[in-house]
A = this chain, B = another copy of it.
Amino acid sequence: MPDSSLLSSRKGDHIRINLDENVHSSITTGLEAYQFIPKAIPEINLEDVDISQMLLMKKLHAPILISSMTGGTPEAEKVNRNLAVAARECGVAIGVGSQRAAIENPALAKTFSIRAYAPDALLFANLGAVQLNYGYSVDECRRAVEMIGADALFLHLNALQEAVQPEGNTRFSGLLDKIEKICRELDIPVFIKEVGWGISSEDARRLASTGITGIDVAGAGGTSWSQVEKYRIEAPHRARIAGTFQGWGLPTALSLELVHAAVPDMILFASGGLRDGLDVAKCIALGATLGGMASPILKASVISEEETVLTIKEIIEEIRICLFACGINNLTSLRNNSSILVKRG
C-alpha cells in the first residue's frame, strides 16, 4: 500500500516544479492555426453578449473550467481555497487534483475541501482511472465525491506519466470494464480526462461505450507531465527517458476535432495549453462545452485570491469581446460553429 505522505509530498513537488521549471510541451496545441473571422458590423451590443449556460444542473457564468490540479499539502490547501473563491466569484466550473492521497490518509481530506468556499459551483472530484486496477472500486470513488461534495467525478488517464516514473502504476489492462462498472454504480456523472496527451478517436469510441457522461481531451501543447516527472527523477538516464517524451501526444486542437467527429453527442471539454479567452472560444467553436486551464490559473493562485479572480475575469472578458467582435450573442451560436474560424498554413 502506498505511503500517503509520499503522495502528498509528490503533490508539493508538482506545484514547485510547475512554477519553476520548463514543463512545457515541445509541440503546440494547434489552436494557433485557427483565426476568428471578425464581423466589422457585429450588429449586437457587447453588453448583450451572454456566455452563461446550464451544465449538470448548475449555472455557469462562463464556459471555463479550472482544471484538476492539487490537494494534499498545506500549500495545496491554500491554492485550492483561492481557486474555489475565484470559481464562486466568476461563476466557473472547478476540479480538484487527484484525491488519492486523501483516500489513503483521510486527515488530508480538508486540503481538498473547497465546497465551503464555492457552495454553488460545478465541482469535479478526481481520481486516477488506473487505481481501479490497484484495488480501488466504486467505494473509493464515492468517498472522493463525498469528500468535496462534488457534482461529478473525473477519472484521469495518464499512462505515459505513470510509465516514466520509476515505480509508476502501469497496469492499464482491463480498465474499460472497470470504468463501465463505476459509471453503472456511481450515482453522479463520470467524466474521463487525459492530463496532457489527448484522447484519440479510438479511445473516444471505446470510452463512449462505458457510459461516461463526458470527456476532457486534455491534449498536448501545454503542461507536459513527462517534463514534470523529469524534474522529479534523480537518476540521469531515467530523467532523459522522460525528457524524450516532451513532444508526445495529440495536440489539443487535433484531439478535440478527432473526438468530436468520433463521438459527436458526447459532452466535451478541452484543456491542455489554453492560454487566453480566444483559445477557450476556439475550442467551443470546435465542439467543446468548456475550456479548461491549469498552469495559468495555478500561477495566479499562488499569489492571491484577488489575482486568481482577476485572471479568470480577464479570460471571461476576452471570450465576451471575441464573441462581440464576431457578432455572436451566446454560446449556442458559438458552439460547433467552425465557420467562424479560418485555418492557416
Contact = CB atoms under 8 A, between A and B. Distances in A.
Contacts of A159: 38-40, 42, 324-325
Contacts of A162: 46
A77 interface: no
A276 interface: yes
Interface in A159-193: 159-160, 162-164, 168, 170-176, 192
Nearest to A164: B321
A117 interface: no
A35 interface: yes
Contacts of A324: 159, 163, 170, 172
Given A38-B200, A197-B40, A173 B314 contact: no
A50 to B, nearest CB: 14
A69 interface: no
Contact of A321 (B42, B194, B241): B241
**Chain A contact patch, size range:** 35 or more
Interface in A235-261: 237-238, 240-241, 244-245, 247-250, 254
A221 interface: no
Interface stretch (A52-60, A91-99, A119-127, A202-210): A202-210
A271 to B, nearest CB: 13
Contacts of A41: 157, 172, 175-176, 203, 206-207
A256 to B, nearest CB: 13
Interface of A: 27, 35-48, 157, 159-160, 162-164, 168, 170-176, 192, 194, 197-200, 202-203, 206-207, 237-238, 240-241, 244-245, 247-250, 254, 276-278, 310-311, 313-314, 317-318, 321, 324-325, 342
Top 5 closest pairs, chain A to chain B, by CB? A46-B170, A45-B171, A40-B157, A163-B321, A40-B203
13 contacts: A38-B159, A40-B192, A40-B199, A41-B172, A42-B172, A43-B173, A43-B175, A44-B172, A45-B171, A45-B173, A46-B163, A47-B170, A237-B314
